[in-house]
Structures are given as C-alpha cells and as structure tokens.
Amino acid sequence: MDVSVYLDVGGTYIKGKLIKDNRVDFDNYKEYESKSEESKSVIIDNFRNIIESLTEDESINKVDYILMAFPGPFDYKKGICKIRGLNKYASLYGLNFIEILRSALAEKNKYKYTNTKIKLINDAVAFAYGNYFKNKVEKGAYFTIGTGFGSTFISKGEIFKGKYNIPKNGMLYDEVFRGKIIDDLISNRGIVDLSKKNGLSVRSSKELYNLAEMNDENALKTFFEFGKILSEILNKYLEDYNPDEIVLAGQIVKSYKYFEKGMNLLLMDKYKKKLKINNDTSKAIMYGLYRMKERG
C-alpha cells in the first residue's frame, strides 16, 4: 500500500491530506495552524504533530512519501531553508529542514518513517503543475498574487524560461516595470501603496476589499488601477509566449470582481478568453505535488 502525505505549507495555515494507493482525491483536506513565527522547536513539533495526525490510522505501518509545497526562498533539493525577513519560518533559516523533520518523526515511531522520502517543492511551481495537468493544455502561464507575485510558465510539461521575453529564471517578481520591481507592484504591499495614493489607510488587500464591499469610491478606484497595472504586465510578458491558458490565484485574486474591469480595459483580447481564476489553490497545489511525484 502506497501511503503519501501532502502538505500545502503557508505562513498562516498548513493544509494537509493523506492519500493511500494513489487514490487521488484532494477534496476535504485538513487545515492546521502553521505557527510559522514561533521558535524552531515549536515549528518542527507542529509539523511532526500534523503528519502524525494524518497518519494515525492503525492500518498504516509505514509512510512512503511526505511531499510539501513550501514558499521560498529555499534550497529545495537539499532542504535548506533560506527564508528570513518575511515574518514566517525565520527560525528555520540556514537549517536542513528535511533532516530535522526526519529526526523528529523518528523519535516516536522510527519504523513508520524509516524509509520515507521527504520532498520539498516550490509552492508556485506545484500550483502551476496542478492546473496544467488538470486542464490538459500544451502551454500555460500561472500567477499567484498575495504577499508577493509568483509566476510559473509551463510548456510541453516542462518549466519554460529564457525565451519569448520570459526571464532566464522563469520568474517575473524581480523584473522592473514602471521603475519598480513587479513584486512591489503586484502584491499586498503594492496594493496598499496604491491605496495610499488614493487617500486610504489600509494594511492589507483584505481591508481594501472590505471597503470596496461598502462601495467606497477610493477603494474601487484602487482596485481598478491595480487591474490596469496587472494587465499591462501580462501583456508585456505573454505577447510572444502566447499561452493556451492564464491562471490567477492567491489572496488578492479573491478580490478579482473589483479589479476585473481594470484588467479588461487593457488586457489583450486574445487573453481574455484564456484567463481563469482558481479559488482553491491548496487543491491545485496538492494535485501538482502528486503529478510531480509520479513524474519522479
């Protein structure tokens, strides 16, 4: 029996699901506190408790895989955490997370986790693959908009980069647009800065969303302008690449109904029909982890 644990690791919550014998069903995943701002020992204990909770069934004698989608920066192959200054997982900085977690799991049940393969994948990449394989396209562009701007391009099943105006690292977050890096424009801090120019004092896109729900003119204007900037960026980087689908997701995308008009004003017509909104990133991420596991 193949037993695999799938985790979507975020700064606030960790979503988890146990899959047996590759019976792929990522509905009804469980949600746990991440405790990402705590000490190393608290974070590691939390991961161990989550994994043990997911695998507590008495019929499970061994766990084959633990697959985790983790935000960066990270050395994903070696398991070295490089996150700092982001208000999450800073206490793991410089540590081999995989080996520390493996040791923690072995403390209570060595046999169950003796030969477990622990793999870390960038969360934006896992999300992209989840959508790509589910939607069965040849070429796709995938963007997550939250605390930062994640971007992944996939063509013929492989990460695409270095051609058709796509950067060599395949990521847009540090590209310069209008004199700023894109991550400072299309992100939570980007929309907060934009709201300040419109006379608002908000700390997050969620607060701005709440104002828009009350029909606040400045909040609506901010979202409209945000949509225009996003569409200009997409036009610039997608024109030559010409994907079959464009998928947006993330916390800010939950406000899509408010920046949709701004996007549609400038977004090239050929992209409007290709644009999709994914409101369940965790399900897509876990499916992406599964497909990447199957690929080896």
Could you state, in order of their start, the residue ranges of all structural domains in the chain?
3-115, 128-278
- Kindly indicate whether the domain formed by 3-115 is annotated with CATH number 3.30.420.40: yes
pLDDT of residue 11: 86
pLDDT of residue 59: 86
Q: DSSP secondary-structure letter at 18?
A: E
270-291 confidence digits (pLDDT tens): 899 999 999 889 999 999 999 9
pLDDT of residue 262: 96
Q: Say how many Å lie between the first and final Cα of the chain, rounded.
A: 18
Would you call 145 helix, strand, or coil by DSSP? strand
Distance CA 202, CA 163 (A): 39
Q: What sign for the dihedral angle of Cα 192, 193, 196, 201?
A: positive
Q: What residues in the chain have per-residue pLDDT under 70?
A: none
Architecture field, domain 128-278: 2-Layer Sandwich (3.30)
Decide: 266 and 160 in contact? Cβ < 8 Å. no
| H or E stretch covering 253 | none
Asked if 3-115 and 128-278 have one fold, the answer is yes
Would you call 6 helix, strand, or coil by DSSP? strand
Report in angstroms the alpha-carbon separations of 61 from 23, 68, 112. 18, 21, 6
pLDDT of residue 16: 96
Q: DSSP secondary-structure letter at 97?
A: H
Return left, alpha or beta for 34; rule: phi > 0 is left, psi -120 to 50 is alpha, else beta.
alpha
Average predicted confidence (pLDDT) for the chain: 93
pTM of the model: 0.88
pLDDT of residue 201: 94
Q: 70 - beta bridge partners?
A: 122
pLDDT of residue 191: 96
| Phi (first) and psi of residue 196, to 5 degrees | -65, -40
190-246 confidence digits (pLDDT tens): 999 999 999 999 999 999 999 999 999 999 999 999 999 999 999 999 999 999 999
Angle at 208 between CA 206 and CA 214, to 5 degrees: 110
| H or E stretch covering 295 | helix 281-295
pLDDT of residue 247: 97
Distance CA 99, CA 89 (A): 16
